[in-house]
Amino acid sequence: MSRKISKLCLMFFLIIFATQSFAEQVVKIGALYPMSGRGGLYGKDSEVAIKIALDEVHKKGLPKGIKLDVIITDDQSKPDYAVSVAKRYITEEKVKFLFGVVSSAVALAVTEVSKNNKIIFVGTDHAATDLTAQKFQPYYFRVSNNTFQSMMAGAMYLKEMGGWKKIAYIGPDYAYGRDQWMELKYALDKLGVKYEVVGEYWPKLYEPDYTSYITAIINAKPDILVSGFWGGDTVAFIKQAKAYGLFSKMKYFHPDAGGNYEVMSALGKEMPEGLIMSARHHVNWPDTPENRAFVEKFYKQAGRYPSYAAEGAYAGIHFIAEAIRKVGNADDTEALVKAMEGMKLKLPEDPDGFTSYIDPKTHQIVQVQAIGVTEKNNKFPPAEVMLGKFKVYDASKLWPDFDYIDYLKKTKK
């Protein structure tokens, strides 16, 4: 009898030990975001969204009692510094995933660390197409749209709009800005749109004074000015361009990040009406339960409405969690890569009837794009102008139907 009791006790303690081991299994994710300066809001918003997503993931549960732990470091928007942080994450923190990044220049550096160490890097924000084209590597995945998708939708919008011929472009002088202009021209040519380029302008990132560029653009007299700015640079340019009357002289078209909520919030009453813009996430579109719930949860936690970066970070955490559920653990990197390829993930930015998915060939998320026009709307203060009159573009027509990868390889040799 005593032997039976001893065996039962031993089994009991083994079960308790195993349960505790599973409950204590922590998977570390090493995130890099700007936490100060013009890009600092994106890091702070991403941090809030990560907490929201972690709460949802842990409430639903992961295999073997796995818990996700996200470490966030200010990457200072500097590629060299970000590389050193990423390497430290891998060697000292033993992270299973690299995560985040706002700047495309930083992401292009970090993806090399990911490739060399065979650590999955989930990009949540940056948009340079290079990362899913000629710089593609099997351990990189992006859960927000890239510039090619924005520019393809933009070209469709411009074709439908008609009534213009002369076009000019202004954008930051690095991969993100350069890619947008090249891709828009490629898309316009692909759609058979005839146009004349009357100016290209390349200010540095975080340029404080756009006066000389604004003067040159006005003198060039384009029908359409396409902008490739993001964040604080968009706000600074619009403020300065408005003072010179630029928006009464031409159409302003900003198809990637111009319509982000943080731009509307920062400008308030100063945001002109009639500008054509889009964003990677809209707080007022689509009007679905998923988007409303995300926006409301964010507002409850942060006391403000989310920038587009927040939804990308939220998506990234759920993306990792879903891959772990499919594989059953977080230790088999190759199995996780396979699980992520082609994965479907319902996100706040998905309209009814559509679910975002990862293109298995490029590891780029495929999503619907919506382009709108600025108009008065005070439902999301401190913004007083929001996007409305949306035109929505089918994801399948934006990606991956076009042979852009071969085009980019030939163009950038």
How far apart (Å, rounded) are the C-alpha atoms in residues 38 and 233? 8
With respect to residue 308, please indicate whether it lies within any of the assigned structural domains: yes
Local structure of residue 139 (DSSP, 8 states): T
Structural element, H or E, at residue 311: helix 308-327
* Residue 321 included in any domain: yes
Strands in 37-165 per DSSP E: 67-74, 97-100, 120-123, 140-142
Q: What is the pLDDT of residues 348-380, one digit of tens each?
A: 999 999 999 999 999 999 999 999 999 999 999
Number of domains in the chain: 2
Strand runs labelled E in 192-343: 196-201, 224-227, 251-254, 276-278
Secondary element (H or E) of residue 48: helix 40-60
> Same domain for 311 and 205?
no
Domain that holds residue 108: 7-145+287-366
Residue 215 sits in a domain whose CATH number is 3.40.50.2300
Q: How high is the pLDDT of residue 176?
A: 86
Query: Phi and psi of 169, rounded to 5°?
Result: -135, 140
Q: Is residue 57 part of a domain?
A: yes
3-state secondary structure of 388: strand
Q: Please report the pLDDT score of residue 133 as a whole number.
A: 85
Q: Are 304 and 265 in contact (CB under 8 A)?
A: yes
CA dist., res. 71 & res. 31, Å (int): 6
Task: Specify whether 386 is located in the same domain as 357.
Answer: no
Res 22: pLDDT: 45
Give me the pLDDT at residue 20, please: 47
Same domain? For 178 and 250 the reply is yes
* Last residue in a domain, options 366, 383, 399: 366
If one counts every other C-beta atom within 10 angstroms of the C-beta of residue 60, the result is 10
Give the separation between CA 261 and CA 384, rounded to whole angstroms. Answer: 11
State which residues of the chain have pLDDT below 50. 1, 5, 8-9, 13, 16-22, 401
Same domain, 63 and 200: no
Within a domain: residue 2?
no
168 within some domain: yes
State whether 196 and 345 are in the same domain.
Answer: no
Based on the fold, state whether residues 245 and 213 are members of the same structural domain: yes
Residue 275 lies in a domain: yes
Instruction: For the full predicted model, state whether its pTM sits above 0.75.
Output: yes
Q: Is residue 280 located within the same domain as residue 372?
A: yes
Domain check: are 312 and 274 in the same one? no
174/256 same-domain check = yes
pLDDT value, residue 404: 65
Contact 262, 382 (CB under 8 A): no
Tokens of 364: 């780029």
Tokens of 135: 């710089």
* Same domain assignment for residues 112 and 206: no
Structure tokens, 336? 């996780």
* 97, HSE (Cβ side, Cα atoms, 13 Å): 34
In tens, the pLDDT along 374-405 reads 999 999 999 999 999 999 999 988 875 456 66
Q: How many CB atoms neighbour CB 331 within 10 A?
A: 12
Residue 348 in contact with residue 311, Cβ under 8 Å? yes
1 in any annotated domain: no
Question: Is the separation of the CB atoms in 371 and 153 below 8 Å?
Answer: yes
* Helix, strand, coil share of the chain (percent; to 5): 50, 20, 35
CA distance 326 to 315: 17
Please indicate, yes or no, whether residues 295 and 277 belong to a single structural domain of this protein.
no
Distances (CA, A) of 125 to 106, 150, 238, 328: 11, 14, 22, 27
Instruction: Say if residue 353 is in the same domain as residue 376.
Output: no
Q: CA 51, CA 39: separation in Å to the nearest integer?
A: 19
